[in-house]
Structure 1
Amino acid sequence: MFGTTNKLSAAGWSIRDTILWVFGTTVACVMIWLLHQELLLVFLATLFAVSLRGASEWIRRHTGLPTRWAMAVIMILVVVAFIGFWWWVGPQLVQQAIDLGKTLTQEGGNLASRYGHTNWGRSILEKLSSAGSQAAEAMAGSMLTAATSTVGAIAAFFVLIVTMLYFASSPDLYVKGLVTLVPQSRRARVHEVLGKVAAVLRWWFLGQLIDMAVVGLLTTIGLLIIGMPMALALGVIAGILTFVPYFGAILAAIPALAIALGQGMHMTLLAAVVFGICHFVEGYIMSPMVQDRMVKLPPALLILSMTFLGSLLGPMGIILATPLAAVGLVLVSEFYVVDVLKDESGRDVTGH
């Protein structure tokens, strides 16, 4: 304790600075709580903008195109890829999604008739029935809220796209504005740390895209090999849910295992093996290839951040917990461990 106090004193950290820091932190926490939805939207726009800018600069270096032209090329390629995907597999995917819903309902009825006579089966059915009735009542009482939320979601989507494009097209303008808020003697340091934050976000987003594509493709191929129905829909679900670390893999496996269970234990074991292999490849082969460029997040810290941010900010908190935790760890390591405590090991959290 006294060693830390001495380090703070040596760094010029006075009691007045501590009081101001505590007051500023309290105000910041209150503002985050009041504006957390808007701040998450801004953070998401920043995440996309940083990734778009990084990709456009990579194209500029390799082709000589101006950065804004490179951004336009990327946006066109994304739109073409999206349209091409839906033209090629969209009808099949929609049909499989419809079949998946029907199959899950049918398999639920089959499982209820098969195991409903057991004590544990009756207990599960009673809990599901109670939860279902409560969900139905909540849904029936919130139709207007849902409609309002849909309009709000559409508006938020357009705000997200426009904000992302502005951030990506002129990042120096907004970075300069942030840096101007700090004392002049600290501006170069803040600019350096913001560059590290941008690099971490860029590599995290690239890693997520790679993970989603690999898991989705491998899951689809594996399920097709074992003869699982609706393999494409289940593979797409597995790829999308990879965006949520740890819990996404479990959520993706639930519908597949439910369908496989209705076809026997042999198919269930094969489906479990497919999901296990896919996430082994993603976790131990693909992720380490991009993790060296990212902040090294301890697994326990990642799970705790997902739990805490999920409780505080809702589903978006869970989805964005990893990049938020990465940004937080970089800021604490650089500004507190390195600058305040004068411990250069704080730079080791990034691969830079």
Structure 2
Amino acid sequence: MEPADRDGRDGVWGAGRVAAITMVVVAILGVAWLIIELAGFLMMVFAALVLAAVFSSMASRVCRYTKMSRGPALAISVLLTIGVFAGVFTLFGSQLTNEFDTIQQSIPPAIDRVEAQLDQFGLGNSTRDMIRQGTGDISSMAARLGGFAMTATNGIANFVLVLVGAIFIASDPMVYRRGLLLLMPARAEEPVAAALDDASRGLRGWMVGQAVSSLVVAVLTGVGLWVLGVPASGGLGVIAGLLDIIPMVGPIIAGVPAVLLAFTVSPTAALWTIGLFLVVQQLQGNFLQPMIQKHAVDVPPAVLLFAVVAAGLIFGFLGVLLSAPLTVVVYVMVQRIYVKTLLGKPIKIAGRD
């Protein structure tokens, strides 16, 4: 009877194991389906978390220097942030709008100038077709970005929702932290809490470093293009600074309209413009990026590149914009929870030397 009983038990255990594996697979597929279906909502929540981290960091500094309570400090931080953006748009909004109009109107003549230059150099039709295909792709991408901008303009309610959510989260972040930890098993609370601390520290460090990097890139690009006599240098500098937030891909996208507009001046100006972007990106890659990584976390370049592509495929254009902070958070979580806790291997703590 023992062999039969053992076989019976083995059969039951085998069926139970198959059922457990099936449930795990179904759960994973279900979570993946929810992520895809709720992609827009999840990106809004993450955007609110990023903005809340900005407000919380500013409020902490105001509390430290003024000794006031967190509520008034947070109100000052929010009003200061909104005031800075409103002031910039008030002072330079019309000028930047005119420069963006100049960029839009100058791109088609610039493309014609490039094709004429190719004819002068006697390049074949195959090269011209390749250029036209590339410019068609750029125009298609610009149209998609324009459509997104139209959607974003009509989505003021979503922006208000993100802003209000960020203020609520920043007002008392410990409430949401405790609520998340209550959902964890008792033995998982400590590593999850440490992972949340690492993610928060890394995210704050990334934001400070990225703000400095974007400002420096915008100023250097704008001034350099102005010296070269490229039209709409201020608008092109703003575009370069804003797109600097997108790892790897952003500088390339920012350089395309600048080089095309430089061709309206002369081919030599276009070559100097390419050189300017190479110099600025070398500065960004060898000085500014290490500064960001020192205060945040050293994410390998290939990981950042593929993260941009993955975020774009899953979450759309908003995912591309938030790909860098999202990658920082996920990378830190994997390090702390998987590498440190489950595998027991040493890691470099985010934001610490």
* Fold-level similarity (TM above 0.5): yes
Structure 2: gaps spanning 5 or more residues: 1-16
Residue by residue over 1:136-171, the C-alpha shift from the partner in whole angstroms, topping out at 9 and shown as x without a partner, is 9999xxxxx989945762221111111111111121
Q: Which residue of 2 aligns with 1:199?
A: 201
For 2:110 and 2:148, the matched residues in 1 are separated by 29
Residue 309 of structure 1 and its aligned partner are, at CA, apart by 2.3
- Corresponding residue to 1:213 among 172, 192, 215: 215
Q: Which residue of 1 aligns with 2:302?
A: 300
Q: Which residue of 2 aligns with 1:31?
A: 34
The residue correspondences of 1:60-209 to structure 2 (distance < 5 A) are 60-115=63-118, 118-120=124-126, 122-124=128-130, 127=133, 149=151, 153-209=155-211
Contact 1:310–1:316, Cα closer than 8 Å, also in 2: yes
Alignment RMSD: 3.2
**1:166 aligned counterpart, secondary structure:** helix
Task: Answer with 244-253 or 289-298: which moved more.
Answer: 289-298
Q: Quick one: which amino acid aligns to residue 194 of structure 2?
A: E
Task: Answer with 152-161 or 92-101: which moved more.
Answer: 152-161
Residue 288 of structure 1 and its aligned partner are, at CA, apart by 1.7
Higher CA-based Rg: 2
Residue 45 of structure 1 and its aligned partner are, at CA, apart by 0.6
Whether 2:251 is the aligned partner of 1:256: answer no
Contact 1:334–1:347, Cα closer than 8 Å, also in 2: no
The residue correspondences of 1:316-327 to structure 2 (distance < 5 A) are 316-327=318-329
Contact 1:330–1:349, Cα closer than 8 Å, also in 2: yes
Contact 1:112–1:121, Cα closer than 8 Å, also in 2: no
For 1:19 and 1:341, the matched residues in 2 are separated by 25
Task: Answer with 315-324 or 256-265: which moved more.
Answer: 315-324
For 2:105 and 2:33, the matched residues in 1 are separated by 45
Seen in structure 2, the aligned counterparts of structure 1 residues 15 and 53 have a Cα distance that, compared at 3 Å, is farther
Q: Quick one: which amino acid aligns to residue 79 of structure 2?
A: I
Contact 1:219–1:278, Cα closer than 8 Å, also in 2: yes
TM-score, reference length from structure 1: 0.83
Q: Which residue of 1 aligns with 2:228?
A: 226
Seen in structure 2, the aligned counterparts of structure 1 residues 301 and 270 have a Cα distance that, compared at 3 Å, is same
Residue 23 of structure 1 and its aligned partner are, at CA, apart by 5.5
Q: Percent of aligned positions with the same letter in both sequences?
A: 26
Residue 289 of structure 1 and its aligned partner are, at CA, apart by 2.0
Task: Answer with 108-117 or 25-34: which moved more.
Answer: 108-117
For 1:195 and 1:220, the matched residues in 2 are separated by 38
TM-score, reference length from structure 2: 0.83
Seen in structure 2, the aligned counterparts of structure 1 residues 19 and 185 have a Cα distance that, compared at 3 Å, is farther
Residue 98 of structure 1 and its aligned partner are, at CA, apart by 1.1
Seen in structure 2, the aligned counterparts of structure 1 residues 16 and 296 have a Cα distance that, compared at 3 Å, is farther
Seen in structure 2, the aligned counterparts of structure 1 residues 127 and 301 have a Cα distance that, compared at 3 Å, is closer
Structure 1: gaps spanning 5 or more residues: 1-13, 140-144
For 1:134 and 1:205, the matched residues in 2 are separated by 31
